[in-house]
Amino acid sequence: MSLGTLERSAPPFFKQGPSALARLAMFTALAVFLMVADARFQLTSPFRQAVATVLYPVQWLMLKPVEFATHGAGYFQSLQAAQDDLDTARRKMTLMGQRANQAEQLVMENARLRKLLALRDRLETSAQAAEVVYDTADPFTRRVVLDRGQMGGVELGAPVMDEAGVLGQVTRVFPLVSEVTLLIDRDQAIPVLNVRTGVRGVAYGDPVAGHAGGMELRFMPANADIREEDLLTTSGVDGLYPPGLPVARVVRVERSADSAFARIYCVPLAQVQGARHVVVLKPLGDTGLPRPESVPPLQAARKGARK
């Protein structure tokens, strides 16, 4: 073989493109650009919705074996356990029947008082049932995914609650599913009202409280009239949550002489761990209390000068 036919270029094994440092800088800049674009301009929101829509059938198929295993375990439940559950349910139904009779009487009295005092009726908020599909995989947040999305009428910011109280708020909506941030998430806050005293405040999520997650009522004075077992409900001042929904109960109050604020720990009434069936409410929006008619500052000054 002649030397002219030999390949004089370097073998492919030794061929190299850009250096490792150049690649690191390029991909770092690309990652920073994508994060800023997503946070500021929501450029990746359509792509995220498309990916969520495409992956929904795969998620549905992967969850079927888990559902079959759960149903199989419930099918083999013993007859004695089922009988105990039936007896417990009957006792609860009897107790709820007594409370229902008392509630009907209180509703009638309340209606009469409202007519006498010409009070405005409470707002009626539409609601729809939904089911929790799974918890999100992010270990730094407390969120769950529901089986209803934009096509089901779920709106961004909608309150979510179970049979006991407020569970969280819809923070992301996709075509077929929606994402709910629980009250115990560190970035979640909700305006509350102390039923006993009528004092308003803001409760923040505390994911490490009690190892199962809780809430903290912040920025309350150290001499505030608040006690353990106080019930906190939604105040309705935020324009999203209807007023009067049960939120949490105070479990511990810590007062320190060197601090102007008290440390108030609460436990949510809703089942934040293992919730299955929930109700999605429509955001209160602009259907809240009527706003007073605004007067332009210049016109108000002229009226004051004339007086």
DSSP string for 72-91 = HHHHT--HHHHHHHHHHHHH
Burial of 281 (0-12, 13-18, 19+ CB in 10 A): buried
On the 0-12 / 13-18 / 19+ scale of CB atoms within 10 A, 36 is exposed
Secondary structure class of 58 (helix, strand, coil)? helix
Evaluate if residue 5 carries a pLDDT over 60.
no
Using 50, 70 and 90 to split pLDDT, how confident is the model at 226?
Answer: very high
pLDDT tens, position by position, 241-270: 988 889 999 999 999 888 899 999 999 999
According to the model, what pLDDT value does residue 305 have? Answer: 42
| 3-state secondary structure (DSSP) of residue 108 | helix
What pLDDT score was predicted for residue 92?
86
Please identify, in words, the CATH class of the domain defined by 126-286: mainly beta
Q: Is the pLDDT of residue 232 over 60?
A: yes
Q: What is the mean pLDDT of residues 210-220?
A: 80
Q: What is the pLDDT of residues 141-166, one digit of tens each?
A: 899 999 999 999 999 999 998 888 89
Distance CA 234, CA 244 (A): 5
Which of 7-11, 21-25, 77-81 has the highest average model confidence (pLDDT)? 21-25
Cβ within 8 Å of residue 255, ≥6 positions away: 222, 262, 263
- Better-scored residue on pLDDT, 284 or 74: 284
Rg (C-alpha) for the chain, rounded Å, is 28
pTM for the complete prediction? 0.63
Tell me the C-alpha distance between 179 and 156, whole Å.
9
DSSP state of 32: H
Dihedral sign from CA coordinates of 66, 72, 78, 79: positive
Write the single-letter amino acid at 13.
F
173, 174, 175, 144: which is closest to 161 by C-alpha?
144
Taking 70 as the threshold, does the pLDDT of residue 38 lie above it?
yes
Query: Strands 200-206 and 246-254: what pairing?
Result: unpaired
Spatial contact of 203 and 190, defined as CB atoms under 8 Å apart: yes
Residue spans per domain, the chain = 126-286
Whole-number pLDDT of residue 164: 85
Largest CA distance in the chain: 114
Q: Distance between CA 88 and CA 256 in Å, rounded?
A: 44
For residue 199, the model assigns a pLDDT of: 94
Q: Which of 178, 130, 179 is nearest to 150 (CA)?
A: 178
Work out whether the CA dihedral 190, 195, 201, 207 comes out positive or negative: negative
Is the pLDDT at 206 greater than 80? The verdict is: yes
38 versus 271: the higher-pLDDT residue is 271
| 193, pLDDT greater than 50 | yes
Rounded Cα distance between 265 and 271, Å, is 17
Q: Any idea what DSSP says for residue 162?
A: -
pLDDT in tens, 84-135: 888 888 888 888 877 777 787 787 777 666 665 543 444 467 888 888 998 8
| Gap between the Cα atoms of 121 and 149, Å rounded | 31
240 neighbors 284 (Cβ within 8 angstroms): yes
Contact 160, 172 (CB under 8 A): no
| pLDDT for the residue numbered 8 | 57
